[in-house]
Homo-oligomer: A and B are copies of this chain.
Amino acid sequence: MRELFAMAAVLALASCSTPPAPTAHAVAQSPPSMSDILAHSPAGDWRPIDPENTLYMDLPAGRVIIELDPAYAPNHAANIKALAREGYFDASAILRAQDNYVVQWGRPDDSPRPIRMAHATLQPEFERARRQDDVFTRLPDPDTYASEVGFSDGFPAARDQTRTWLTHCYGMVGAGRDVAADSGGGTELYVVIGQSPRHLDRNVTLVGRVVQGMELLSVMPRGSGDLGFYTTAAERTPISRIRVASDVPPEERTDLEELRTDSRTFVELVASRRDRRDDWFKYDAGRINVCNVPLPVRVRAHS
């Protein structure tokens, strides 16, 4: 079988692929690949993902890991952790899977659970003020939706002269809401599973991103109801629980680290993806979209 796209593998946001070993010819002619760049990166260019800002969602097929972003959504991150800690998501379910859009989860209508300590809804955190000390790795390329796009501490983001916000790229997790801006809060969450729906930027509070297990969510059977909602309980995939990683015994945790987006290695990585110079590419785009930049995550090596 031919190894089609051997050099074209893009695994944006969710994980980091291992391309097949290049041929001797390719080694001689090609610039460093993404895996080469990562393999030679200094340890300091990675940062551990904080267990206190990490959720483990348990599906029958395995664990989905979500990194929350308290820098952009402090109140939502805190509330989602509070919901998880009071067991709000125990025996919850995947409620919706709409093709090329989102998979969404929460409590089914027929299995409500009162909220005890957490908030049912919150004021929106759609965007925040741009600050002098923001660390923002900007992309030079034009974007359809924003004047500036880039990366902020591992998350895709955008900004204008005064405001900054997270962007709806593949794998990003948001807090569903009703018509009122303050009707969300984290009781229903969704993840982007298709082309980035960037028109949702600044309309929904993005709370984080899936850093492992995205492939368990993206294959959910699409729902046959309006907006991809499942119409029967039997169609819903059960979520046994969602926990904050720091509440899980250390030996049961998945210790992850992610490439710092303010690192030299990240700059090299983006450059290697903007300009594809290996033999496979006949035309070099010389551009990259914020939602096509891989954000590598790996299991931490234990010393």
Contacts and interface: CB of A to CB of B under 8 A. Distances in A.
Contacts of A109: 1
Interface residues of A, number: 79
A214 interface: yes
Interface stretch (A16-24, A77-85, A247-255): A16-24
A104 interface: yes
A246 interface: no
A72 B4 CA distance: 21
A2 B126 contact: no
Contact of A144 (B6, B141, B200, B283): B141
Contact of A281 (B203, B276, B291): B203
Contacts of A218: 99-100, 194, 218-219, 222
B11 A99 contact: yes
Q: Which of A5, A104, A144 has the most CB of B within 10 A?
A: A5
A283 B127 CA distance: 11
A238 interface: no
Contact of A102 (B5, B20, B198, B220): B5
A289 interface: yes
A201 B285 contact: yes
B190 A12 contact: no
Nearest to A2: B178
B219 A183 contact: no
Interface stretch (A39-47, A169-177, A260-268): A169-177
B144 A287 contact: yes
Interface in A154-204: 169-171, 176-179, 181, 183, 188, 190, 193-203
Nearest to A106: B1
B199 A276 contact: yes
A285 B95 contact: no
B3 A227 contact: yes
Nearest to A226: B20
A10 B101 contact: yes
A138 to B, nearest CB: 14
Contacts of A196: 195, 289, 292
A17 B102 CA distance: 14
Interface in A115-158: 124, 126, 141-145
23 contacts: A2-B178, A3-B227, A4-B178, A4-B227, A5-B227, A8-B199, A10-B101, A11-B99, A11-B100, A15-B99, A19-B227, A99-B214, A100-B170, A100-B218, A124-B282, A145-B287, A194-B195, A196-B289, A196-B292, A199-B287, A202-B282, A203-B280, A219-B221
Closest 10 CB pairs of A and B: A4-B176, A202-B283, A215-B222, A144-B289, A99-B215, A199-B285, A170-B195, A2-B178, A219-B219, A142-B142
